[in-house]
């Protein structure tokens, strides 16, 4: 067993703590004995999270801090005071097809929190939540993904000359993820900070939100729900963008963020949180077993599987096994976890 870089009791900042991933990261840190300061845009609307964590872990272990504008200079200066680690989950999402409007705020936000971290002497670790879309296009089905791979095709399309049509929005989003993570690594190489930086790269995230009452089914956790409810419009959007692709359970994403924060051997690494491939029909088969009386959409004919080899995923799974004793959760477990509230009805 290793000695954690951050001893229990240290303060860790988690940005976007009210979100799907951020809330699970905070819970995992609290379970490991860390103090957590979570950033949100509106403290009043996030009192549910403070109450939830106080009920689970007692008062004084978790606090909320407001950061209304992540791109503002010095936005995180006060937030990181006394912290030993940062998990930067929050991202500026300026949706749209114009890269000149969408990408610079993302870069400014990441650069700003890194600069704040560099001014804090107690800082030991910085973890960035990246995205699989920064690495692998969903349309590429037989790639060999290595640790230094980037989605350069999307970047080229995003920065192509105008007109900036709506159809470019997904490429601009992907490019923002590429440039955001690359921006972190460039800053680290240039500034040589006194802390270690790592990134976690998840694909489609499934699993139960921390509080469906307060969060609903955010992001890709809605995929099994829309299929169960026969929401044809939402299912069509999913098939167009994310099937076939790769999945991971949100619990494993959170565990890998903690690993990147405390494991002494994880230094300047990209952790690929790829549990395995899946497509729409795979989820449908699980739903049919869980809800045999439901009328579900028919299987999609001719749907392919993603056969890409994600070489760095083995490293990520090894970390999960070393720290928690188990590797990635399978698709059946991830879908079941997502639909806990439905299964309880």
What is the DSSP track for 75-119? TTTTTTTT-SEEEE-------SS-HHHHHHHHHHHHHHHHHHHHT
CATH architecture of structural domain 11-343: 3-Layer(aba) Sandwich (3.40)
Is 70 exceeded by the pLDDT of residue 240? no
User: What pLDDT was estimated at residue 345?
Assistant: 58
- The set of residues, in sequence order, having a beta carbon less than 8 Å from that of 255 and lying 6+ positions away, is 28, 320, 323, 324
Q: pLDDT band at 237, cuts 50/70/90?
A: confident
Taking all residues of the chain, what is their mean pLDDT, rounded to a whole number? 95
User: What pLDDT was estimated at residue 297?
Assistant: 86
Mean pLDDT across 24-37: 99
Mean pLDDT across 162-189: 97
pLDDT digits (tens, 9 = 90+) for 185-229: 999 999 999 999 999 999 999 999 999 999 999 999 999 999 999
Distance, CA of 119 to CA of 78 (rounded, Å): 10
Q: pLDDT band at 299, cuts 50/70/90?
A: confident
With pLDDT > 70 as the criterion, what percentage of the chain qualifies? 98
Q: pLDDT band at 304, cuts 50/70/90?
A: confident
Q: pLDDT band at 279, cuts 50/70/90?
A: very high
Mean pLDDT across 101-129: 97
Q: pLDDT band at 162, cuts 50/70/90?
A: very high
User: What pLDDT was estimated at residue 94?
Assistant: 73
Distance, CA of 70 to CA of 113 (rounded, Å): 8
Task: Decide if 70 contacts 112 (C-beta within 8 A).
Answer: yes
Cα distances from 344 to residues 7, 289, 291, 337, in angstroms, run 38, 15, 12, 11
User: What pLDDT was estimated at residue 93?
Assistant: 80
Is 90 exceeded by the pLDDT of residue 40? yes
Mean pLDDT across 128-154: 97
């Amino acid at each position: 067993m290793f000695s954690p870089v951050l001893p229990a009791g240290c303060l860790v900042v988690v940005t976007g703590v009210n979100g799907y991933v951020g809330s699970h990261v905070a819970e995992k840190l609290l379970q490991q004995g860390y103090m957590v300061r979570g950033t949100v845009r509106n403290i009043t609307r996030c009192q549910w999270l403070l109450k939830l964590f106080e009920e689970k872990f007692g008062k004084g272990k978790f606090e909320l801090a407001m950061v209304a504008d992540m791109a503002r200079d010095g936005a995180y200066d006060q937030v990181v005071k006394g912290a030993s680690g940062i998990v930067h989950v929050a991202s500026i999402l300026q949706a749209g097809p114009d890269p000149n409007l969408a990408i610079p705020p993302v870069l400014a936000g990441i650069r700003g929190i890194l600069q704040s971290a560099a001014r804090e002497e107690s800082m030991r670790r910085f973890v960035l939540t990246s995205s699989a879309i920064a690495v692998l296009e969903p349309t590429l089905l037989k790639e060999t993904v290595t640790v230094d791979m980037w989605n350069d095709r999307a970047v080229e399309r995003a920065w192509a000359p105008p007109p900036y049509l709506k159809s470019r929005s997904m490429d601009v989003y992907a490019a923002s993820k590429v440039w955001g993570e690359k921006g972190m690594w460039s800053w680290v190489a240039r500034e040589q900070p006194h802390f270690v930086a790592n990134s976690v790269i998840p694909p489609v995230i499934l699993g139960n939100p921390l509080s469906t009452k307060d969060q609903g089914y955010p992001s890709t956790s809605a995929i099994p729900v829309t299929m169960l409810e026969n929401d044809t419009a939402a299912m069509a959007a999913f098939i167009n963008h994310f099937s076939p692709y790769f999945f991971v359970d949100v619990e494993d994403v959170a565990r890998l963020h903690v690993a990147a924060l405390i494991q002494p051997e994880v230094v300047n690494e990209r952790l690929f949180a790829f549990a395995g491939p899946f497509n729409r029909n795979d989820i449908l088969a699980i739903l049919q077993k869980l809800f045999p009386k439901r009328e579900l959409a028919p299987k999609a004919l001719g749907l392919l599987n993603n056969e890409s080899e994600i070489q760095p995923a083995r490293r990520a799974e090894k970390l999960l096994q070393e720290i928690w004793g188990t590797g990635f959760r399978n698709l059946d477990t991830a879908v079941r976890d997502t639909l806990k509230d439905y299964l309880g009805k």
